Amino acid sequence: MAPSTDMSRFHQTLHKSKHIICVAGAGLSAASGVPTFRGAGGLWRSYNALDLATPQSFAKDPSRVWQFYHMRREKACSCPPNPAQMALAKLFVPDLLSTLSPGATFTLITQNVDGLSLRALRDLTANPQLECPPNLIEMHGRLFDTICTACGEERENLDSPIAPALAGTEGIVEAQEDEPDIPLELLPRCGQCGGLLRPGVVWFGEVPKRLEEIDVLAKEADLCLVVGTSAIVYPAAGIADTVRQEGGKVAVFNLEGTPADKRANFRFLGPCEETLPKALF
Ligand code: BJW
Ligand code: ZN
C-alpha cells in the first residue's frame, strides 16, 4: 500500500507513540548549508566525497583526506542549526515531548558527523556547555573527534585549523591553486605519542557506533522518523526495516523517493526544514 501523506493521521500516530526514534541523514543538515554526499553536493574539488570516506583513501593520501575533513570541520562550525534540527531538539526536552505523548521516550540516531543536532539542543536550552545526551546517538562518529592511528587514543579536538598546514586549504580552488601535498609530519598529530591522527568518523567497512543499543531501540520503537537520508548505507538503512518487522510505524521525510519508502506508513515529500516542524510542533 502507498504510504499516507495525511498529516492529521500522522499526528494521531505520533500522539499514541510511546517509543519514538528518528534516523537522520545528510538532508537534515542541508538547510544549514552542509553539503550532502550524494547528488549535486557530493563533489569536493573533483573528487566524489564518498571515495574519500574510506580507510583505503586515508592510507593512500592522508594529506588529501585531511584537507577534505578540515574543510568539513570549518564548514560545520560556521553553519547554524536549521528549523528541522530545532524541531527534533524539542523532543529531547521532557516537558515538550510529553505535550506530544505523555511518558514517551525519544532517541535521535544520526548518521551525521557535523554536531549540528547537539548544537540545536544547546541553542534551544540556552546551555552552550550541554554534554551530548545518551539519547543522541552519532552512529557514524564526529568530525570534531580524532583517533590516533598509533596509540588509538580517541578524543575531541576543536582546534581551528586542526593543524597549521591545513589553514586556507579550503580555499585553494577559488584561488586557482594546486592541491598541496602536506607532509605527514605536518598533518594532525597525537598529543600523547606523536602518531598520525585520523578523523573520528566511521568510514566504509568500519563498524558504526552503539549498534547493540540501536537494535534494541529499533525493536521497541512504535514510531520511526526517517529524515533526509538516501537510505542506502547499512546498517543505518536497516533500522526502519527492524521497526516495521516488529510492528512499529515508519514516517519518511525527504525531498525525493528513497528505498525507505517501501517500509513507510507515512511519507512527506519536501524539505524537512519545512515538513518536520509541521509534523512535530
Ligand atoms: C533532503 C534535503 C532536505 C537533501 N530535506 N531531505 C552491499 C550491501 C549492503 C551493505 C554493503 C554492501 N557493500 C558494502 C556494504 C556495507 C556498507 C554499505 O552500506 N554500503 C552501501 C553503499 C552499499 N556499510 C558500511 O561499510 C558500514 N559498516 C558496516 O557495514 O560494517 C560492517 C558491520 C555492520 C554491522 C555489524 C557488524 C559489522 C559503515 C558505513 C559508514 C558510512 N560512512 C559515511 C561517511 C561518514 C564520515 C563522513 O561524514 O565523512 O557516512 S558514508 C556517508 O553515507 C556518510 C553518511 O552518514 C552515509 C549516509 O548518507 P546520507 O546521510 O543518507 O546522505 P546522502 O547524501 O546519501 O542522502 C541525503 C538525502 O537527503 C537524499 O535522499 C536527499 O534527497 C535528502 N535531502 N536535502 C529533506 N532539505
Ligand atoms: Zn597516539
Axis-axis angle for helices 83-90, 116-125 (nearest 10): 60
Are 249 and 224 in contact by the 8 Å Cβ rule? The answer is yes
Residue 151 sits in the same domain as residue 278 = no
What distance in angstroms lies between residue 234's CA and the mean position of ligand 1's atoms?
6
Maximal C-alpha separation, the chain: 58
Residue 85 sits in the same domain as residue 73 = no
Residue nearest (by alpha carbon) to ligand 1 atom 49: 113
CATH code (residue 278):
3.40.50.1220
**Share of the chain residues as helix, strand and coil, in percent rounded to the nearest 5:** 40, 20, 40
Are 123 and 89 in contact by the 8 Å Cβ rule? The answer is yes
Residue 57 sits in the same domain as residue 129 = no
Torsion of CA 234, 49, 264, 20, to 10 degrees: 70
Handedness of CA 88, 90, 94, 100 (dihedral sign): negative
Containing structural domain, residue 193? 37-78+143-201
Render pLDDT for 255-281 as a digit per residue (tens, 0 to 9). Answer: 999 999 998 999 999 999 999 999 998
CB 57 near ligand 1, within 6 Å: no
Angle ∠(103,104,110) on CA atoms, nearest 5: 150
Final residue of a domain: which of 159, 177, 201?
201
Coil, helix or strand at residue 115: coil
Render pLDDT for 75-131 as a digit per residue (tens, 0 to 9). Answer: 999 999 999 999 999 999 999 999 999 999 999 999 999 999 999 999 999 999 999
What pLDDT does residue 64 have?
95
Residue 249 sits in the same domain as residue 263 = yes
Residue 196 sits in the same domain as residue 213 = no
The total of structural domains in the chain comes to 2
Burial class of 269 by CB neighbour count within 10 A (0 to 12, 13 to 18, 19+): middle
Final residue of a domain: which of 158, 186, 201?
201
Residues in Cβ contact with 271 at an 8 Å cutoff, skipping those fewer than 6 apart: 30, 31, 255
Residue 178 sits in the same domain as residue 253 = no
Residue 187 sits in the same domain as residue 279 = no
pTM over 0.95: yes
- Which ligand is closest to the CA of 83, given by its number? 1
* Closest ligand 1 atom to Cα of 50: 52
Residue 171 sits in the same domain as residue 90 = no
CATH code (residue 60):
3.30.1600.10
Residue 25 sits in the same domain as residue 87 = yes
Q: Which residues are annotated as a binding site for substrate?
A: 69, 72
> Is residue 160 over pLDDT 80?
yes
Final residue of a domain: which of 178, 201, 224?
201
